Chain A
Amino acid sequence: MNNPSELLLDVRNLRVEYNTSRGLFAESRPALRVLDNFNLEVLKGETLGVVGESGCGKTSLAQTIARFVPACGGEIMFEGKNVLEFDKASMRKYRKDMQLVFQNPMSSLNPRMKVRTIVGEPLVTHTNLDRTARVARVSKLLEETGLQSDYMDRYPNELSGGQAQRVVLARALALNPKLLLLDEPTSALDVSVQAQILNLLKKLQNDHNLTYMIISHSLTVVEHISDRIAVLYLGEIVEQGPCGSVFDKPSHPYTQALFSSTPIPDPNHQRQRVNLIGTVPNIAKPPTGCRFHTRCPEAMEICHKVKPQTHTIADQHTSACHLLADSH
Chain B
Amino acid sequence: MTEVILSVEDLRVSFPTPNGELSAVRGVSFSVKEGQVFGIVGESGCGKTVTGRAIMRLVPSPGKITGSRIQYRHSDILNCAESDMRALRGRRIAMVFQDPSAALNPLFTIGAQISAIIRQHRIATGKAVRLRAIDLLAELELPSPTEIFDSYPHQLSGGMQQRVMLSMALAAEPDLIIADEATTALDVTIQAQILELLSKLQRERGLTLIFITHDLGLVAEICDHIAVLYMGKIVEEGNPNSIFHSTRHPYTKGLLAALPGSQTLGKSLKVIPGSVPSSTTQFTGCSFANRCESVMADCHMVEPADVLFSADHRVACHLYSDQLVTGPIR
Contacts and interface: CB of A to CB of B under 8 A. Distances in A.
13 contacts: A54-B158, A191-B259, A192-B43, A192-B258, A196-B271, A199-B271, A224-B261, A224-B264, A247-B262, A263-B220, A264-B221, A268-B241, A280-B187
Interface string B195-224: 010000000000000000011111011000
Contacts of B255: 191-192
B217 A263 contact: yes
B269 A195 contact: yes
Contacts of A265: 216-217, 220, 244, 256, 259, 261
B124 interface: no
A275 B192 contact: yes
A326 interface: no
A220 to B, nearest CB: 5
A276 interface: yes
Contact of A220 (B191, B196, B218, B259): B259
B193 interface: yes
Interface in B270-312: 270-272, 275-276
B188 A266 contact: no
B323 interface: no
A225 interface: yes
Contact of B271 (A195, A202, A247): A195
B265 interface: yes
Q: Give the most central of A53, A195, A276: most B CB within 10 Å.
A: A195
Q: 9 tightest CB-CB pairs across the interface, nearest first? A: A263-B217, A224-B260, A267-B240, A195-B258, A261-B192, A53-B187, A195-B269, A190-B43, A261-B188
Interface residues of A, number: 44
A261 B245 CA distance: 22
B2 interface: no
B196 A275 contact: yes
Decide if the interface of chain B is mainly helix, strand, loop or mixed.
Answer: helix
Given A53-B189, A266-B244, 7 more contacts: A161-B44, A195-B259, A225-B260, A265-B256, A267-B220, A279-B159, A280-B157
A262 interface: yes
A154 interface: no
Contacts of A243: 265
A264 B157 contact: no
Nearest to B251: A192
B43 A191 contact: yes
A267 B242 CA distance: 10
Nearest to B241: A267
Interface string A198-237: 1100110000000000000101110111000000000000
B244 A224 contact: no
B220 A217 contact: no
Nearest to B269: A195
A202 B260 CA distance: 13
Nearest to B195: A263
Nearest to B215: A263
Contacts of A257: 189
B18 to A, nearest CB: 14
B144 interface: no
Contacts of B44: 161, 190
Interface in B119-166: 143, 157-160
A258 interface: yes
A160 B276 CA distance: 9
Contacts of B276: 160, 190
A273 interface: yes
Given A53-B187, A276-B193, A224 B275 contact: no
Nearest to A188: B44
A279 to B, nearest CB: 5
